[in-house]
Amino acid sequence: MILSFKNKKRSIDYLIFGFSIFLLFCFVFEPYIKLPPLLAWIGRWHPLLLHFPIVLLLASIFLGLTGKRIPRPLLTLAVISALITAISGFFLGKETPIKGDILYWHQWLGVGVGLISAMGESTFSLRSGHELTEKS
């Protein structure tokens, strides 16, 4: 059975919602979380992952400001990659025993960018009203 566009979109929306809740959970309960070695290793990918969502989010913002249509796949990929990058940044930050002010603000700004981009994507998706379904 082939999924319709509506079902794929719903799955992606659930993925974005799940990543957002997980990110918020991680930062709220940060003092109580102890990471296993595999997750700590995933956190070391944060510097590599960091620049991809920045470019995608800036491209989406630029298209929106110039009045051009923002492709849904571009915005969706930007949001998912921003949330994954923020989560990997959390994992990397857990390896640091002493956090200074810079790391503290860097973490919360990363959470803010991830969550604001998720809210922006959901607003964009509601406003655009793309309810295409595949004809069988």
pLDDT tens digits for range 22-53: 999 998 998 899 988 888 888 888 988 889 99
pLDDT class for 99, splitting at 50, 70, 90? Answer: confident
Percent of the chain whose pLDDT exceeds 70: 89
Residue 130 predicted with pLDDT over 80:
no
| Most distant pair of Cα atoms in the chain: their distance | 58
Amino acid (one-letter) located at 87: I
Q: Which residues contact 21 (CB under 8 A, 6 or more apart)?
A: none
Q: Which residues contact 76 (CB under 8 A, 6 or more apart)?
A: 12, 16, 121
Q: Which helix (H) or strand (E) holds 93?
A: helix 72-94
Residue 56 predicted with pLDDT over 50:
yes
- pLDDT at position 6 is 63
Q: How many CB atoms lie within 10 A of CB 110?
A: 23
Residue 12 predicted with pLDDT over 60:
yes
pLDDT class for 57, splitting at 50, 70, 90? Answer: very high
The token pair at 26 is 């991680």
